[in-house]
Amino acid sequence: MNTVASETTERPFVISRVFDSPREIVWKAWTERERIEWWGSKGIAIHHAGPKSRLGSTFHYCIKTPDGSEMSSKRVIREAVLQELLVFVNSFSVAAGGVTQHPMSPHWPQEMLSTIIFGAENDKTHLTINWLPLNATEVEQKTFHEGHKSVKDGWTGTLNRLAEHLAKV
């Protein structure tokens, strides 16, 4: 039985990092198409990206892995408070934009609720990411919780790339 649990699970994955950049610049790195090239772990390249993120919009993008594989994903923006909060549903997608399974993990949740909090600390930004499966089955929730180490590694690599990007801005 593949019962869908409540909208979100109880135990989010949380990761934080302080960046040596003003909050306005970090916000733009997350929300402007022309600045999103940092997204993903080392070796990942953004191949195509949709329009600027804004409330109610869908930001569709395709990443290319070092081995040449391509994976499409999308963010559907649920809430945005300028330079403070960005909430979106992230999922893998087909090229046309429909939601699909993770290409390498069939039991990974189809949708992830991503809450990004941008805190100002003088000329630095304290970024906190909360990540939860959304509308996930019990099996998908279990896969997510058992995969926290892998998730941590992926987010750490992504945030390292963001730090490198911000150092050049």
Stated pTM of the model: 0.85
H-helix segments, the chain: 23-31, 138-146, 148-168
- Mean pLDDT, residues 5-22: 79
- Work out the mean pLDDT of the chain and round it to a whole number: 85
Q: What is the arithmetic mean of pLDDT over 39-46?
A: 81
Domain residue ranges in the chain: 13-168
What mean pLDDT comes out for the span 28-39? 85
Residue linked to tokens 């949380």: 14
Using the predicted structure, report yes or no on whether residue 31 has a pLDDT greater than 90.
no
User: Is 80 exceeded by the pLDDT of residue 21?
Assistant: yes
Please report, rounded to a whole number, the percentage of residues in the chain having pLDDT higher than 90: 53
**Per-residue model confidence (pLDDT) at position 61:** 79
**Range 161-169 average pLDDT:** 94
Write out pLDDT tens, residues 65-93. 888 888 888 888 899 999 999 999 999 88
Question: According to the model, what pLDDT value does residue 55 have?
Answer: 59
Please state the CATH superfamily assignment of the domain spanning residues 13-168 in this structure.
Answer: START domain (3.30.530.20)
Q: What is residue 8's predicted lDDT score, i.e. its pLDDT?
A: 47
The single-letter DSSP state of residue 52 is: P
Pairing of strands 99-100, 85-93: antiparallel
Q: Torsion angle of alpha carbons 151, 152, 158, 162, nearest 10°? A: 150
Average pLDDT on 103-128 reads 93
